[in-house]
Amino acid sequence: MTRLVRVPLADQVADVLAERIRAGEWPLGAKLPGETTLALQLGVGRSTVREAIRRLAGRGVLDSRHGAGVYVTALDAPEDWDQVLRRADIVTVIEARTAIEVEAAMLAAERRTPADLRAIRGALLARDESGRSVEDHVDADTALHRAIVVAAHNEVLTEMFDGFTARVRRAMVNMLRLRPVADEKMDQDAHAMLVDAIVARRPHAAAQASREHLSALKAGFA
């Protein structure tokens, strides 16, 4: 059965503007018409145009300059996260998590502060609560891993993690419904080992614990 996906109007407008840029209507460095003009051309509200411009600015195609207007800064952009992740299978998702989280675990062990440790320990404890739904488990697990990423004190890694996990939450929920964790205690112990390495300032041990946990998760779906 074909799955229908509702595309937000702002995304549709962003795609139209990007196509007009690629077609040469506005060359590199050109100033776009104002929001009111674009809204009339496209038959949408100004707020939708504004959101579409914001999304294209985030992809590096446009630059919104306060008081000066919106300018073309690139003629194309890499495919956005949503399109990539819609095609991704769960193994690909876990591989991407590994790329982010193993490095973050190592940096967290080097840079964590007392406040970071409180957040990480609290998240580990919350993750161990029983009787939760699959959705609650995924959210608790994500909160722990995010606390570790934040403790790395690298804004780019945090932004990548946030942008990534928000989009793959449903995939993780579906994954656990299909194949629940075989041994919840062992799984929790693996996370505790990761936390212990961060607490002890052992970066290589933290990276290894993170990699082993995610590799075991990947093995179940390969």
Give a three-class secondary structure readout of the chain: CCCCCCCCHHHHHHHHHHHHHHCCCCCCCCECCCHHHHHHHHCCCHHHHHHHHHHHHHCCCEEEECCCEEEECCCCCCCCHHHHHHHCCHHHHHHHHHHHHHHHHHHHHHHCCHHHHHHHHHHHHHHCCCCCCHHHHHHHHHHHHHHHHHHCCCHHHHHHHHHHHHHHHHHHHHHHHHCCCCCHHHHHHHHHHHHHHHHCCCHHHHHHHHHHHHHHHHHCCC
* Mean pLDDT of the residues in the chain: 87
Please list the residue range(s) of the chain that carry CATH number 1.10.10.10: 9-72
pLDDT band at 218 (very low <50, low <70, confident <90, very high): confident
134 pLDDT higher than 80: yes
84 pLDDT higher than 80: no
User: Among 1.20.120.530, 3.60.15.10, 1.20.59.20, 1.10.3720.10, what is the CATH number of 81-219?
Assistant: 1.20.120.530
79 pLDDT higher than 70: no
171 pLDDT higher than 90: no
pTM over 0.75: no
**CATH topology for 9-72?**
Arc Repressor Mutant, subunit A (1.10.10)
pLDDT of residue 86: 59
pLDDT band at 198 (very low <50, low <70, confident <90, very high): very high
Please list the residue range(s) of the chain that carry CATH number 1.20.120.530: 81-219
Q: What is the mean pLDDT of residues 141-158?
A: 95
Residue 174 vs residue 45, higher pLDDT: 45
